[in-house]
Structure 1
């Protein structure tokens, strides 16, 4: 998730959703909390921490949270009396914004039939039903035949940055693996998609992905086995266990460094 993009999208909908100032402050506090955790899929946060971050009272926090949940811009679940509740923040993409803003054409307030070249006011109910069924079947066929548009990762997208970071580390170690003048360079867009899946589906933090990229390209065994983002994703569990083992070669749990150290 891109912090600035998410902020801009939120301010776009806050007025339309008639969010109170308390709800807005709580949302920004939750967004800041998730940013500090490198954008994990869901996270826990105590009421006292949120009250401190947002400046809200206990009752104000509860009202603001209910409003955000009702408007579908956060999710919230309790975890027992002695455990911090769990939150998640959906990414405010265009399609999601249309849903929460009800930004879709409304049905006509009356049921007056509209004549088309294929129908007349004298069409019988059975004829109209058959026509509707035929159109529905054709529509379903078209939806199955069409493929979703391939996602394109922009240069400032963190997934693409990490994909390029892996490629850079491989080239630094052995420039002959992926020569810069190759006519068939690796597909970093595909690599970026693998990075995204690691983060969104496998719940790997971007910080962990970055440090494991660095660690595996220093390890004498794994550096020759991790030559793509898909292989990194497949072996990530083994890699992080090895990197975090007390006796790993560099003695610092894979060299934990903040994500902003990325050379971009």
Structure 2
């Protein structure tokens, strides 16, 4: 399986075929990540605990969302018994010949037209090709509607949690009466990308927000969700290091109350 082609095909599926929930997307990306580690074998096993960590879903959420993904033909799975990891299969979404056809389209059409010049089929193919090009151009020119996060959306809650922690530490960074407050909608989108694309659990995101705003170095460097996403790998390594300020696995101690 070609990882990049599969990702692009999945994004096209989301855009043009079926709107998926955040849980279904998170689970699909988690399965992709595991299959990538398994060198893209057709069937692979994944324990529920691993999927819970990567997707941020509960066990019931995993069961519910994987059934939907199977019904949509995105994945397949088979139970191996109550105490054994479930077997999964990622269904290929792209056409293996699509790249080859795209690269040789102009050569094929030129040969076809010269052999069948003036025929009805040649004219039809040319017309179809022009329509495809026009459709592709229109789709690239049009911009997708900007997503709006509602107040009860977990991504927006975590964005506001980050803003609150920054203000608690230094109220002059983002004054509440500022005429240009930070765009928490954009911050919420960065949080969503961390969860869906980077496979970060919401618990870990929340935990690292609390930790970085107590760390003497990182508190002055993490002042937005985009910076949090960019540095998340370093932050979680540092937070969970045995020699940090909290001692053994200090990033998990003390526990911070989640805003949900």
Q: Which of 214, 219, 224 in structure 2 is aligned with 1:223?
A: 219
Count of matched residue positions in the alignment of Structure 1 and Structure 2 = 183
Please give the secondary structure, in 1, of the residue aligned with 2:77.
strand
Please give the secondary structure, in 1, of the residue aligned with 2:251.
coil
Asked if 1:235 corresponds to 2:248, the answer is no
Report the alpha carbon displacement of residue 190 of structure 1 after superposing the two structures with TM.
Answer: 1.1
Structure 2 vs 1, CA of residues 133 and 255 (structure 1 numbering), >3 Å: closer, same or farther? closer
CA contact 1:38–1:206 (8 Å) conserved in 2: no
Structure 1, unmatched stretches of 5+, are 8-32, 55-64, 89-123
Asked if 1:159 corresponds to 2:174, the answer is no
Counterpart in 1 of 2:55?
40
Please give the secondary structure, in 2, of the residue aligned with 1:148.
coil
Richer in helix (by share): 2
Asked if 1:76 corresponds to 2:77, the answer is yes
Q: How large is the RMSD of aligned CA atoms in angstroms?
A: 4.3
Please give the secondary structure, in 2, of the residue aligned with 1:76.
strand
Counterpart in 1 of 2:103?
none
Report the alpha carbon displacement of residue 262 of structure 1 after superposing the two structures with TM.
Answer: 3.1
Structure showing greater Rg: 1
1:177-196: per-residue Cα shift (whole Å, max 9, x none)? 01111111111111111111
1:185-229: per-residue Cα shift (whole Å, max 9, x none)? 111111111111111111111111111100110111110010011
TM norm structure 1: 0.55
Structure 2 vs 1, CA of residues 41 and 74 (structure 1 numbering), >3 Å: closer, same or farther? farther
Counterpart in 2 of 1:196?
192
Please give the secondary structure, in 1, of the residue aligned with 2:178.
coil
Kindly report which structure 2 residues correspond to 1:1-264, keeping only aligned pairs within 5 A, or say none: 37=52, 40=55, 69=70, 71-72=72-73, 75-76=76-77, 84-85=85-86, 131-251=127-247, 253-255=250-252, 261-263=257-259
1:122-146: per-residue Cα shift (whole Å, max 9, x none)? xx76666555444333222211211
